[in-house]
């Protein structure tokens, strides 16, 4: 004999609430672990300030590590230097990132240092330590 259980409206509402709460937690976790402090507006390249652009690929562990190092270095910079250049991120999967990567012939996890006119000064493959990122920033600040 097979028994059929009918769910009450309260049980259905509770199940829906639990599903929505789970989705909310996943979304919150994605935001919590996303790299912080990077502008995604790649149109700023060549607009009067030098730029350090990081090609971020969420599928590469090195991307999160590199983003954290760049943030650490930027946080340690003086206000003048920090405001004198753009710290940008090209996120793999976005059309603007694809266009940028094709234009500059770069790949995932690259760091691209550009002058104020958008000319490439240097392209470096991740993982660049804090000392290396600082040297890149100093290099562009000296050529400003």
What pTM was estimated for this model as a whole? 0.73
- 11 Cβ contact partners less than 8 Å away, ≥ 6 residues apart: none
Q: What digits encode the pLDDT tens for the residues 99-110?
A: 999 999 999 999
**Which residue carries 């004198």 as its tokens?**
84
b/e per residue 58-89 (b: at least 16 CB within 10 A)? eeeeebeebbebbbebbeebeeeeeebbbbbb
Neighbours of 35 (CB within 10 A): 17
Q: What digits encode the pLDDT tens for the residues 38-69?
A: 899 999 999 999 999 999 999 998 998 999 99
């Amino acid at each position: 004999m097979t028994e059929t259980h009918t769910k009450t409206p309260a049980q259905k509402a509770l199940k829906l609430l639990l599903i929505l709460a789970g989705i909310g937690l996943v979304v919150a976790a994605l935001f919590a672990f996303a790299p912080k402090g990077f502008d995604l507006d790649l149109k700023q390249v060549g607009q009067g300030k030098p730029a350090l652009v990081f090609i971020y690929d969420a599928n590469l562990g090195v991307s999160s590590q590199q983003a954290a190092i760049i943030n650490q270095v930027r946080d340690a910079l003086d206000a003048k230097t920090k405001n004198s250049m753009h710290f940008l991120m090209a996120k793999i999967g976005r059309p603007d990132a694809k266009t940028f990567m094709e234009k500059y012939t770069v790949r995932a996890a690259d760091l691209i240092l550009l002058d104020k006119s958008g000319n490439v000064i240097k392209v470096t493959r991740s993982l660049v330590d804090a000392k290396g990122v600082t040297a890149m920033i100093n290099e562009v600040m000296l050529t400003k």
